[in-house]
Amino acid sequence: MPGDGHSRLVLVGTLGPGEVLGWSCLRDEPVSLATARATGTVRAVAIPAESLLALLASGTPGGRTTMRRLFGVAALYLAAAREQMIRQEREGVITAG
């Protein structure tokens, strides 16, 4: 995140078991804005974006449940990122997760 003329890393959040990273890549023009570093053992699942988008567009109960979960994740992450920026006196417009 740009600072006072120098780039630096800003801790926006900490993920726990079952949480989602990389959801912002589902946008129309995907841009990966997240990086992660594990402090212990991690088991990760990668889901191809096209497969996930097809599920979301399917109109099935599973697709609707997944969509609600992703919207909830996005809302929580955006709120947490905003709070973190406020704490660091770096409040601004958040354009992606």
Summarize pLDDT for 42-60 with one digit per residue, the tens.
Answer: 888 888 888 988 999 999 9
pTM above threshold 0.75? no
Q: What is the span of the domain harbouring residue 31?
A: 1-97
Summarize pLDDT for 19-43 with one digit per residue, the tens.
Answer: 777 777 777 777 666 677 888 888 8
User: What string of DSSP letters covers 17-42?
Assistant: TT----GGGGSSS---------SS--
3-state secondary structure of 2: strand
pLDDT for residue 10 is more than 70: no
Helix, strand and coil content of the chain, in percent to the nearest 5, comes to 40, 0, 55
For residues 54 and 49, give the distance between their C-alpha atoms in angstroms, rounded to a whole number: 9
**What is the enclosing helix (H) or strand (E) of 13?**
none
Task: Tally the domains of the chain.
Answer: 1
